[in-house]
A and B are shown apart, each in its own frame.
Chain A
């Protein structure tokens, strides 16, 4: 997921850079008396094209709904509570291949709950808000140790607010 995002971003950035390079290379040509080329029509078409493209990509990225929370009888519920600067997670051992829904709450300031796999990829995250319970779901495909990091700045030991989850085979 992340590498696709990075690659797409770099390609689009390179496209922007090439447009600049190509147009600027012709900038110092001309004697200054010329009028700018009339590109209003092109500009409008360009605008409509990227707007349409963007909206289509954007809308299609919303299915399936990326914030869907798993519910139902086979869902395993994990309760997560953040406090400056530690996590309380129950249960800490969860089964592989089953939908897990984390319900996250805080006793003090805002925190950010996140789960990382052993390759260091961020898998899921949710803000942990005073006065609210947020939910986020995931199905773990591989057994093993997963790390829990804090993703919202919560004071001077924010980076120490880490914990672990164990995903076990049935």
Chain B
């Protein structure tokens, strides 16, 4: 076995709650595989290969949606926690608290869906939880909302703790955001990329989580006091603001792993230059201003909000990709990198994220959205940057965490697993894009016969994805468990 070119960055202090981070990674593998199996079942049902009752399809859809979004958030949070601890001192119990709240929330959510019959989709669009057409009762909807609120509270504590640690270390949030360097061109003790990214993420994700918690709480009260209502359009704005911000934060949190790990392979430190800081600070505002692109089909939304949604959709994607993708390729160029599972997965993840932003940005145009909104174009683009982006980065981080003293070069089953996963994931998402272009609606349990060929093709790619991910993660579970005992 040859040795990969790996230099370990000096660690200021060991990561507090490192065991919880590793447990989170193992939990991520389990949840991913289970939710992928749910996804495959849904796809097979659309393909008319298996016959599920529609109520079961929509329960699986609800579980898959919230389960995947939740685990993306949780794994992103673990990654960011791990690396922030290199730069600021964190309090270990906070991450344990997040993990516990996540587990409690998951139990409540699973019970609400599979015992209570809740199938209101992960987005709990007001007033659907309260008006199921007689399919689930108030208690089930309430249990679901409470489960999500519990997880949200865990995240808020987590975000506040990271904010506290950064302020303690850098004196103020604006220092951690790199404002002195950004505005004056000079900063003593300038923050590294991880700190800048983290500071940005906690600001916008903190706001997003609070708005989400408010929407959840109001929906919960409305279940029991129907006279206490919320304007449906306002509720929708709040929910999509929260949903958009949260899922983006999950990806951005994971991207921190790229900034921290890739330099160990290239020997070229990732610098928080002025453009880097400018890009991240711009994203802090843009990511919050962009969500009206979810509301292009609401004619009553003000036109200025729609125009802003369209322009910002474009402007939001570009700076981050430029300071991440462009810089990554720049740092890798003739770096003599030796590919192992971790580095290959991280680069695959940045590829999935970058390539997935193409159909996302295109759908951010109103004239396109008019014919693509809520077709399978939408799961097409987000499976690209989640399944092939966020997930690949997370698996890359886990592989790095689980690696031996000398990383093993990519070969044998590891490389086969990666190839099967990458082809499966790419094919799976691309088939959704094609279906979207053929106007197949998303979130339909039963498909017309003329749509089922793609559904079958998508199912085959889904099987490949699951197989590839299985090959990658199963040996890692053992390795991670071993390093925890050591």
Q: Which residues of A contact B (CB under 8 A)?
A: 1-3, 5-6, 8-9, 12-13, 16-17, 19-20, 23-24, 26-37, 39-40, 43-44, 46-47, 50-51, 54-55, 58-59, 61-62, 65-67, 69, 84-85, 108-110, 112, 114, 116, 120-127, 129-136, 149-160
B306 within 8 A of A: yes
Q: How far apart sit A90 and B388, CA to CA, in the bound complex (Å)?
A: 46
Q: How far apart sit A19 and B332, CA to CA, in the bound complex (Å)?
A: 13
CB <8 Å contact, A26 and B334: yes
Contacts of A9 on B, CB cut-off 8 Å?
Answer: 358-359, 362, 433
CB <8 Å contact, B311 and A58: yes
Q: How far apart sit A149 and B327, CA to CA, in the bound complex (Å)?
A: 45
Contacts of A13 on B, CB cut-off 8 Å?
Answer: 355, 358-359
Q: How far apart sit A17 and B355, CA to CA, in the bound complex (Å)?
A: 7
Contacts of A34 on B, CB cut-off 8 Å?
Answer: 334-336
30 A-B residue pairs with Cβ-Cβ distance under 8 Å, sorted by A, are A5-B362, A5-B371, A5-B437, A13-B355, A13-B358, A17-B351, A28-B336, A30-B334, A30-B335, A31-B336, A36-B333, A40-B273, A40-B275, A43-B327, A46-B322, A47-B275, A61-B368, A65-B303, A67-B303, A108-B131, A109-B125, A110-B128, A125-B371, A125-B373, A129-B232, A153-B58, A153-B121, A154-B128, A156-B54, A158-B445
B135 within 8 A of A: yes
Of the candidates B128, B322, B333, the one whose C-beta lies within 8 Å of that of A27 is B333
How many chain B residues sit at the interface, stated as a range, is 35 or more
Contacts of A12 on B, CB cut-off 8 Å?
Answer: 358, 362
CB <8 Å contact, A124 and B311: no
Give the 6 A-B residue pairs with the shortest CB-CB distance, closest first: A30-B334, A32-B336, A122-B439, A6-B437, A23-B329, A159-B444
- Give residues 429-486 of B contacting A (CB, 8 Å): 433-434, 437-439, 441, 443-446, 448, 450
Task: Tell me the minimal C-beta distance from B417 to chain A in angstroms.
Answer: 19
Given A26-B333, A55-B311, A124:B370 Cβ within 8 A: yes
CB <8 Å contact, B233 and A84: no
Contacts of A131 on B, CB cut-off 8 Å?
Answer: 231-233
Contacts of A47 on B, CB cut-off 8 Å?
Answer: 275, 318-319, 322
CB <8 Å contact, A62 and B366: yes
Contacts of A151 on B, CB cut-off 8 Å?
Answer: 297, 373-375, 441
CB <8 Å contact, B322 and A43: yes
Contacts of B55 on A, CB cut-off 8 Å?
Answer: 156
Contacts of A125 on B, CB cut-off 8 Å?
Answer: 297, 370-371, 373-374
Q: How far apart sit A125 and B318, CA to CA, in the bound complex (Å)?
A: 29
CB <8 Å contact, B119 and A156: yes
Task: Tell me the minimal C-beta distance from B3 to chain A in angstroms.
Answer: 13
CB <8 Å contact, A2 and B299: no
Task: Tell me the minimal C-beta distance from B399 to chain A in angstroms.
Answer: 18
B322-334 to A contact mask, C-beta < 8 Å, 1/0: 1000110111111
CB <8 Å contact, A132 and B437: no
CB <8 Å contact, A36 and B335: yes
Q: How far apart sit A2 and B368, CA to CA, in the bound complex (Å)?
A: 8
Given A24-B332, A29-B336, A151-B373, A62:B231 Cβ within 8 A: no
CB <8 Å contact, B314 and A55: yes
Of the candidates B311, B330, B445, the one whose C-beta lies within 8 Å of that of A37 is B330
CB <8 Å contact, B365 and A127: no
Of the candidates B121, B298, B334, B439, the one whose C-beta lies within 8 Å of that of A134 is B298
Q: How far apart sit A50 and B333, CA to CA, in the bound complex (Å)?
A: 22
CB <8 Å contact, B365 and A58: yes
Task: Tell me the minimal C-beta distance from A75 to chain B in angstroms.
Answer: 15
Contacts of A85 on B, CB cut-off 8 Å?
Answer: 133
Contacts of A31 on B, CB cut-off 8 Å?
Answer: 336
Contacts of B347 on A, CB cut-off 8 Å?
Answer: 24
Contacts of B233 on A, CB cut-off 8 Å?
Answer: 129, 131-132
What would 16 more interface pairs be, CB under 8 Å, given A44-B275, A46-B326, A51-B314? A5-B362, A9-B359, A16-B354, A17-B355, A20-B329, A23-B329, A28-B337, A34-B335, A62-B307, A62-B310, A127-B297, A133-B300, A155-B131, A156-B135, A158-B443, A159-B446
CB <8 Å contact, A54 and B314: yes
